[in-house]
Structure 1
Amino acid sequence: MRKSLLFTIVFLFFISPIFLYAQGDVNQGADTIKKEEKYPQFQLKGLLQARYLESFGDNVDVLGMHHSTGDVTQSSFDIKRMRVGLNTKLSETTEIVILVNLADFKSDTKGKVLENAYGKYTFNKYIALTGGQFRPAFGIEELVPVDIIKSFDFSNQYYEFGKNGWTSFQIGASATGAFDVGKIPVNYAVSVLNGNGKNQEMDKDNGKQFSSRWVLGLSKAHKINLGLNAGFGKVFKEDVFAIGADITSDFKVTDKLSFDLQIEYKQGTNHNLYYSLPVDSRTANVADYVMRGIYFLPNFRYVVNYNKLTALEFSCRYETFDPSFKVDSNVRTTYTPMVSLEFGKSYTGRIELGFEIDRFDRSIPDTTTYNDNLFLIQLQLRI
């Protein structure tokens, strides 16, 4: 019964855009043909993030790895991202998006390089369908490109939930849209995913992960939005889950000074950790391994508009994350103070400097689970 239902959903997902597209052509006649002559439309995008890193941790390298031998690289230049993307609109309702990260060629490229590779069909504001490899909506960070976030990088919880198939780049299908409930605007996303990351030849098992996100606009004046996330699925025939809640706001203090705040909490089964452990060193139940995290990200923005300098920003993310709070708990607390200088509009140019300060309940020698103080200077250019 479940397989038949899933097959029906997938079939309708792929066939309905074709049907409605053809139907629209017949009903709209010559006017539509004239509009169609403007397509396809192409938009090229690019992002460069180059960094200087210096570790002040005891025998900890710039990647956060502790070396008991003391032979360690504690300062280095690095290319974090060199992205090239192409957005192609085939019609008013149909688009194809491709995004690659060429910086992944500096290491083993297996499972890397290709990031976005999806098609999207928009029926109307109430529903749009996406299929391919994309970032499913399951929190604040999934809906914001890394080049406009208010910190150096995404949070620790974002990457851990990505390893477990809920966030980051995943292969699957999604329905998104918006509607109003009275005076409250609501945005939603419902996704079904393989759940084993990007650029995979096939699903690792027959299980799928289902997730949803709902965002309620509580205040238009201060841009206060409440997000609710929930997901469930099966991994190697075992039940897994994830939940989350978040809130964002943006207050204009003066004409030039604004303050925005992000708060996000997530909790879910850490099946990635469970199946990475030797059988004799883990419990018999995957449900014993549950991760949870919360972060606060306040950001002050002051508009300068002096010569090339557009604005100054000051932020400090505070985050705690525990990969398994029921079994062998080891909380990681991260402070990320940062100063950002913006040049041009919409972060066309950006210089960021600050620290990533990691503290663990227990530091484990010769691993990345070790206390560290990392200084960063990052140059960002985007088109």
Structure 2
Amino acid sequence: MAAPRLCIGGATSMHGHALMAVAGLGACVRGNGEDRVGPSMFCIARSACLALFTLALLAATPILAAEEAAPPFDDRSGAFLDRSTSQLRLRPHTLVLMRPPVAANPKKSFKLFYAFNFANQPVGLDKCGLTRLPLLGPRSFFPDGKVLDRVDRTFADQQLPAIRKAFADAGSNPVVINIEGPWTIRRTDSSAVVAAKIDSHLDLAAYLRSRLGNKIRLGFYGEAPLKDYFSYQLDYFGNPFDPMYPEFVRAPGLADAVNRQVVRLAASADALFPPYYTVWYDDMGRTDAQRYQLTMQGWTTAAQESMKLALAWKKPVYPFIWMQYHNKINVPALANKFLAPGFFRYQLDTLRNLGADGVVIWGTLGPHGGREMFDRNADWWKDYLTFAKENGVDLAACPHLP
């Protein structure tokens, strides 16, 4: 019998070695099929060697120290490794407090819109620097809100007084068209399906302009650029043993093809409204502090890469943000919970510095008739007020100061 090889070389990937090590150790514990009495010492040694080799590969991955620069972020941020769209890999734990990215040309003005509803909806928000931004959803264009391939023009004509009022209320600001469900563009859609969904949106825009004139201003919620958190992660940050790992790795390439089509929708809009909600909690950290840090990094990467695309289309960009964790976040215990103190302010600072023209604050979901209760002492609201004041908003008459 040939002597067993204890260490395995060759072109096996780091992730492959990790998987083989785990599988090998598991096989040792179970027995190899010929001997169920106990684990083979050769088997344990081989798998242990493979595990050590994997750890050596991980240790060899370059990690940014606090004193190193991490473009495009501010010096000494240490937030990201160099990235390449052709090589996704595990990101090491870089536990340096992130600073907001610095944009080359931040906008001089930054509009603050809201589209949130609370169970005890506050009034007088205009005195706190917020402007209500109208949204038009399926019930404005389809009977019972049941979305069809094309707008039901006969039904929509009956809703024209309310539709016209929404545009009048918006004034010079754009109205947001929010038709999701069957019209939502996904990274996994075929080219023909993407084209059909874009055509549906364009048909609705053409209808509105035919009824209200070409001077109206509108944009589409979440469709340009594609709204998909994982599509903008250029370094894979999660667990390679996760069954979703292959899909996450494929996401950026699929999204790139979709966004090349979506440019047609962006061209027809007067403004872009990408959502940058907190949809993912990174569980790869060893402590709560590390996991929170990695969650911030993942959110920042998605916002940064999506914003690059949106700004390239030369339209005003007003991202939607949410003071709560997404209701479908990967950690159910966090669903609808308010963001950790400081995170909302970080998002506001980051989007301004990345060159957004403003933000739309969305919400809420909660146990009070489907909504949350407004609290003037909530951390997110304090984050908003300090940001608004530092950006020139006069809060003297705001009726909701802490």
Higher relative contact order (Cα pairs below 8 Å, separated by 6+ residues): 2
Verify same fold: TM over 0.5: no
Pick the structure with greater CA Rg. 2
Instruction: Give TM-score, length-normalised by structure 1.
Output: 0.30
If each structure's strand is expressed as a fraction of its own residues, which one has the higher value?
1
Give the TM-score, by structure 2 length: 0.29
Higher helix share: 2
